[in-house]
């Protein structure tokens, strides 16, 4: 659909296409965004390595989606709300989550769900699309309290098939909730390609049904992501209601470390996309075109990032082994008989008594 054509500000060769945007892109902004994307990618690769070594549990990688996550989270203000899925650690760390805490989450500790003081970051949502309702509620609460705060919620293309997606958008539209619904369309819901997921041409056009703006952007273009998300947040703060953003991107790796994408996806296609439209490579080309690429800077940056991640791993592994009782004891204030039975059955399986 013509009105939902994909917006792109930075092309694959690192050239800015929009004169207005070029006036807004400072050297500091470009370098800052690159630093955050490089941190995210290095973290992601390290986490996969740790999982393969048995030092983390099953992990959901995101390589290829760094621009979509970093650019959108970077547009937030300190008191905004962020509602991630199980894959949005790049967004969370950009918004101020500690690397140690993110590692703890993937190591099965409840501490991994707790954001730093003063940061409004919800625990990663594993059920598909449920966080959309939470984000709508939080945004409405901020509106009714008279604040200037907004919420952003992340979800994949598969989530648009869930009822919670439609309920959240409808409710937010009716009550003009200051929310941004940020879809990362990586074109596969695990093994289901998007053409089997829906019959509509775009996800952005689904906004029409709810009378809100729908914007489709190149999710590998960090400037398109940042500036369009910032505009949507400004619109929300001005009382104009929610926006649906579809960021078209591509994840190179598996759905999780328990998945094998070679069973359902052409890996040559992934390789071709990496060579042409990789989000870090695109911004690197821009920095080089603008004379902002410095070998010493990038080498020191990579070293600092490596040290930061290694320090977070050390802190994570200094925690005692997670307590399995946490799975049962924190579901309700007082355990129901069903929860207690599950706990008893678990300890019976181990040959001991429930604690």
Which are the catalytic amino acids? 251, 255, 264
> CA 264, CA 282: separation in Å to the nearest integer?
27
> CA 281, CA 266: separation in Å to the nearest integer?
22
> CA 6, CA 8: separation in Å to the nearest integer?
6
Hunting for tokens 């009714």 — which residue is that? Answer: 144
47: tokens are 């986490």
Q: Whole-angstrom distance between the N-terminal and C-terminal Cα of the chain?
A: 60
Residues 6+ apart with CB under 8 A from 210: 169, 170, 172, 173, 244
Whether the CB-CB separation of 304 and 247 falls below 8 Å is answered with: no
Element (H, E) at 63: none
111: tokens are 């501490």
């Amino acid at each position: 659909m013509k009105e939902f054509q994909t917006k792109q500000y930075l092309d694959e060769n690192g050239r800015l296409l929009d004169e207005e945007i070029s006036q807004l892109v400072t050297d500091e902004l470009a370098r800052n965004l690159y630093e955050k994307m490089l941190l995210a990618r290095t973290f992601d690769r390290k986490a996969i390595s740790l999982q393969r070594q048995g030092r983390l549990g099953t992990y959901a990688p995101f390589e290829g989606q760094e621009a979509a996550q970093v650019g959108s989270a970077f547009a937030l203000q300190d008191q905004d709300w962020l509602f991630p899925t199980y894959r949005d650690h790049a967004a969370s760390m950009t918004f101020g989550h500690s690397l140690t805490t993110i590692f703890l989450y993937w190591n099965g500790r409840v501490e991994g769900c707790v954001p730093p003081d003063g940061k409004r970051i919800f625990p990663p949502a594993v059920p598909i699309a449920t966080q959309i309702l939470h984000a709508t509620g939080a945004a409405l609460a901020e509106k009714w309290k008279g604040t200037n705060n907004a919420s952003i919620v992340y979800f994949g293309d598969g989530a648009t098939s869930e009822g919670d997606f439609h309920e959240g958008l409808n409710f937010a539209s009716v009550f003009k909730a200051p929310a941004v619904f940020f879809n990362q369309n990586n074109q596969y819901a695990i093994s289901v390609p998007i053409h089997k997921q829906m019959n509509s041409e775009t996800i952005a056009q689904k906004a029409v049904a709810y009378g809100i703006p729908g914007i489709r952007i190149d999710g590998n273009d960090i400037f398109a992501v940042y500036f369009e998300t910032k505009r949507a947040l400004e619109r929300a703060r001005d009382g104009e209601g929610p926006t649906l953003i579809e960021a078209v991107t591509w994840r190179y790796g598996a759905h999780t470390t328990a998945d094998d994408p070679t069973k359902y996806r052409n890996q040559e296609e992934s390789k071709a996309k990496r060579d042409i439209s990789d989000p870090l490579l695109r911004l690197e080309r821009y920095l080089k075109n603008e004379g902002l690429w410095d070998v010493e800077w990038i080498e020191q940056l990579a070293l600092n990032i490596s040290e930061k991640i290694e320090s977070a791993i050390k802190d994570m592994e200094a925690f005692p082994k997670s307590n399995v009782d946490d799975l049962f004891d924190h579901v309700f204030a007082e355990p129901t008989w069903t929860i207690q039975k599950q706990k008893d059955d678990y300890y019976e399986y181990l040959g001991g008594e429930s604690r």
